[in-house]
Structure 1
Amino acid sequence: MILRFGCLFLFFLFTCTLFAQEDSISTKPVISVLPLVYYTPETSWSFGVGAVGNFKIGNPLLETYKSQIALGGAYTLFNQFLAYGSWRVFTTENKQLFAGEIGWYRYVYFFYGIGPNVQEIDRERFDATFPRLRFDYLRKLRTNLYLGLRYHFDDFEITSIEEGGILDNQNIRGREGGRISGLGPMIYYDSRDSQIYPTKGFFAEASFQTFHNSIGSEFNFNRWLVDFRSVHSIRKKSVFVWNVYGEFITGQPPFFGLPLVGGNRLLRGLFEGKFRDERLALVQAEYRWRFLPRWGAAAFSGIGNVFSKENLFQIDQSKFTYGIGGRFQLSKKEKLNLRLDIASSPNEDLRIYLTFGEAF
């Protein structure tokens, strides 16, 4: 653990230097190359490199959001590998938005079963390799409001599972891997004053995707997603944000395509992927306070659960999470934070997250 945070600290110092240089540039494109070294129990040592480009399309005097393209790759001593690219590009005056991710991953995951009542003793490892494509195209209808299409593609090859485990002994759909390919409409509204560190405004997104053999999917199912965020300035240096999020699936999805909670975004304090099922609903909130020009703190909490059409949402089975965090502003101009969160949940281990940007 000490080595992990030591390497992350070195990475943090290097990043601060790059963003300090960025603050002196107002209109020119900025490209930052970042070394990546970290350690986790799941990956052992990991080594890689990433590059991020920030730029504006068209006349810099027009009110066009900044665009970003990122590329990266990493290798771990557990023989894991990931290579990815992501983009979020606004055309002149934000008339169109192109966003997405493309990558290839050889990774380790953990599976506990399906539903809200899985047990820690059932935890098992499985290895998978897969290419991934995420693509959103949105066109502006009016100020802050966009309508468009969303496409998702994963081609999971499960290369190993634990002998005698759930995936080995039970007929879990998708246990041998498979391809999912889904397309559908989405609507998007964003009146926040910043997409990186907002202090006021609203964000709302709703999408529907159908995954079907006719568009290359080996599993037939539908997915609905809703995401609403409200940001309020309490004082000059304080912000309160709350988020309602839901995913709902019908049909015959594979287990790796089910909604799940946990990780550094949805109900911090839960192990990502421990709880997964056909449906997910949660609400979470966070109070952010900047007590020095670059330093801040946060307190957050959330409640939610996964469920299915057979086993409906039950409030007494909900997962409650809470935590505190620290923030360091890497870029005064872009308001990008380094985020350190410590989170917990009843009957779960303490979780630590060190990453960039806010959870929601």
Structure 2
Amino acid sequence: MRPTIANIILLLCLTTTAMAQSEKNGWVNRQLNRFFRDTTSAAERSFRVYPTLGYAPETGVELGASSLWLFRAKGDSTNRLSEVQAFSFFTFKGQYGLWIDNAVYGDKDKWFFLGRTRIQRFPLLYYGIGHSTDGDHPAVVDANYILLRQRVLRKISPNLFFGPEIDYQHLFSADFNQPEEGPHHALPAGSGGTTNLGFGAALVYDDRHNVLNVRKGWFGEISYLGYHPSVASDFQFGSVNLDVRAFHPIKKNNVLAWQLLGNFISGEVPFNQLALMGGDMMMRGYYQGRYRDKNMLAAQVEYRMLPFAFSQRWGATIFAGTAAVAPAIKAFQLDKTQFAGGAGLRYLLFPKKDIFLRLDVGMTREGPGFYFFTGEAF
């Protein structure tokens, strides 16, 4: 699911109305301070909940709520900032969902819990597999979907973590609806529903101090997940995942950030667990899964002004990315590489914790995509 312009309009209306009334109404002013101004110390825990409103052609009107929980282990400001984000929604067509993302650091970084949870009934657009799929006539897979992915990492040296990883994905009650116009899609593996449980391990280097807005540092991860019918999987396959990110401070408030991403899968893979191009993090502007295959290579760069030199709250970014998918590593083709770019606005929501709301507009050859979240894309 992708938040839309309506989310932005709702939040801006709430903020503008509250600010306009704040001088006249003490209660409104207190609520404004509570929800839109950071009055807690750097070590104090913060919890915020705000409404969301969206619209998508597949769902109609979407109503929901987002929450953000920020804290440091033992309330110690020298520990890294941990964050848990949750987003829930429902529509008048009977669709619903709950998303949870966590990056939780223990005291002195002894433990690091990194993961995500998705529980939803929401249509998935399926354009086919490969780098030459038609963007005009996707199938719509209406299904229930559960994803639980978690890494439990132990510090083995300063900023270096290692530990087990588990991935559970369950697609059920699936209806594969062919497009009304254009050619029908061949039914992919897993189109009728699938359950897969993967086990593996991850090696992570992480010297970031604020996951939601990194000013300086490196993040690197290499991991392996294996799925087999003997351990509750419908398919047998394995995946190697590589993620490298770097953040370089420029002047006082500006940051140059870049990321390299690689997904390499072998075996028989259900369509929903192929490498997916697009989304709110990498290749913004493309629907997540617009292109999918067993292998993907992607890169992006972003210049962040957080905030502007003339403002205490407002900032902006510009970004560009490139990616390609292929059925095998040796099958990547330079002329099948996709490009995306765009710009975004930032609003400093928690000054003492240096966390911004982001509104990004990603542009591709197929049109724009809009994203509204707490924290940076990577």
TM-score, length of structure 1 as denominator length: 0.91
1:216-227 → structure 2 map (5 Å cutoff): 216-227=232-243
- Say yes or no: does 1:109 pair with 2:128: no
Query: Which has the higher mean CA deviation after the structures are superposed, 174-183 or 75-84?
Result: 75-84
Which residue in 2 is equivalent to 1:157? 172
Deviation of residue 115 (structure 1)?
A: 0.3
Change in 2 beyond 3 A, CA 1:217/1:2: closer
- Say yes or no: does 1:303 pair with 2:319: no
Change in 2 beyond 3 A, CA 1:16/1:137: farther
Which residue in 2 is equivalent to 1:353? 371
Deviation of residue 334 (structure 1)?
A: 1.8
Deviation of residue 159 (structure 1)?
A: 2.7
Please, which runs of 5 or more residues in structure 1 have no aligned partner?
Answer: none
Which residue in 1 is equivalent to 2:161? 146
Query: Which has the higher mean CA deviation after the structures are superposed, 158-167 or 224-233?
Result: 158-167
Q: 2:112 aligns with which of 97, 101, 111?
A: 97
User: What are the superposed Cα offsets for residues 81-132 of structure 1, whole Å, 9 maximum, x if unpaired?
Assistant: 1134443322211101123334421111111100010012331211010222
Aligned partner of residue 276 in structure 1, secondary structure: strand
Aligned partner of residue 260 in structure 1, secondary structure: strand
Q: 1:25 aligns with which of 41, 55, 61?
A: 41
Q: 1:325 aligns with which of 317, 320, 344?
A: 344
Equivalent residue letter for 1:352: F
Query: Which has the higher mean CA deviation after the structures are superposed, 159-168 or 35-44?
Result: 159-168
Give me the whole-angstrom Cα distance separating, in 2, the residues matched to 1:199 and 1:2: 28
Which residue in 2 is equivalent to 1:259? 275
Equivalent residue letter for 2:190: G
- Say yes or no: does 1:182 pair with 2:201: no
Change in 2 beyond 3 A, CA 1:328/1:23: same
Aligned partner of residue 141 in structure 1, secondary structure: strand
Alignment check: 8 A CA contact 2:195 2:233 kept = yes
Change in 2 beyond 3 A, CA 1:57/1:161: same
RMSD over aligned Cα, in angstroms?
Answer: 2.5
Which residue in 2 is equivalent to 1:238? 254
Aligned partner of residue 340 in structure 2, secondary structure: strand
Which residue in 1 is equivalent to 2:21? none
Equivalent residue letter for 1:327: R
Alignment check: 8 A CA contact 2:7 2:372 kept = no
Q: 1:208 aligns with which of 221, 224, 249?
A: 224
Deviation of residue 27 (structure 1)?
A: 3.4
- Say yes or no: does 1:52 pair with 2:68: yes
Give me the whole-angstrom Cα distance separating, in 2, the residues matched to 1:6 and 1:104: 26
Which residue in 1 is equivalent to 2:189? 173
Aligned partner of residue 341 in structure 1, secondary structure: strand
Query: Which has the higher mean CA deviation after the structures are superposed, 27-36 or 286-295?
Result: 27-36
Deviation of residue 58 (structure 1)?
A: 2.6
Deviation of residue 52 (structure 1)?
A: 3.1
Aligned partner of residue 108 in structure 2, secondary structure: helix
Which residue in 2 is equivalent to 1:6? 9
Aligned partner of residue 275 in structure 2, secondary structure: coil
Which residue in 1 is equivalent to 2:28? none
Deviation of residue 272 (structure 1)?
A: 1.7
Higher relative contact order (CA 8 A, sep 6+): 2
Give me the whole-angstrom Cα distance separating, in 2, the residues matched to 1:270 and 1:51: 25
Please, which runs of 5 or more residues in structure 2 have no aligned partner?
Answer: 19-30
Query: Which has the higher mean CA deviation after the structures are superposed, 296-305 or 14-23?
Result: 14-23
Deviation of residue 11 (structure 1)?
A: 6.0
Query: Which has the higher mean CA deviation after the structures are superposed, 276-285 or 19-28?
Result: 19-28
Aligned partner of residue 154 in structure 2, secondary structure: strand
Aligned partner of residue 256 in structure 1, secondary structure: helix
Equivalent residue letter for 1:183: F
Which residue in 2 is equivalent to 1:66? 81
Alignment check: 8 A CA contact 1:7 1:38 kept = no
